[in-house]
Amino acid sequence: MGLSWQQGPLGLGAIGHFLVPGPLPERLLFAEPLRRRMRVRYGGVWIADSEDVVLLHEPGRYPVAYFPLGDIADGALEPVEHVTHHRDLGPTSWYTVRAGAHSVPRAAWRHTDLPGHAGGLKGRVAFAWRAMDAFYEEDERIVGHAADPYHRIDIRQTSRHLVVRHQERVIADTRRPLVLYESGFAPRWYVPRADIAADALTPAKGQTFCPYKGLCSYYNIADARKAAWSYEDAWTEVRRISGMVSFEPDKTEMELDGTRLRLEPGQTVLPHGVDRDLTLDEAGSGGQP
138 and 77 inside one domain: yes
107 and 135 inside one domain: yes
248 and 221 inside one domain: yes
208 and 128 inside one domain: no
Mean pLDDT of 115-120: 96
Domain membership of residue 172 (yes or no) is: yes
Range of the domain at 191: 153-261
Q: How many CB atoms lie within 10 A of CB 287?
A: 19
What sign does the CA torsion over 283, 284, 286, 289 have? Answer: negative
Tens digits of residue pLDDT in 172-194: 999 999 999 998 888 999 999 99
Domain membership of residue 3 (yes or no) is: no
136 and 167 inside one domain: no
DSSP state of 281: H
Residue 7 scores a pLDDT above 90: no
Domain membership of residue 213 (yes or no) is: yes
- Residue at which a domain ends, from 104, 124, 150: 150
pTM as predicted: 0.84
221 and 177 inside one domain: yes
Burial of residue 3 (number of CB atoms within 10 Å: 0-12, 13-18, 19+): buried
**What CATH number does residue 70 fall under?**
2.170.150.40
Domain membership of residue 289 (yes or no) is: no
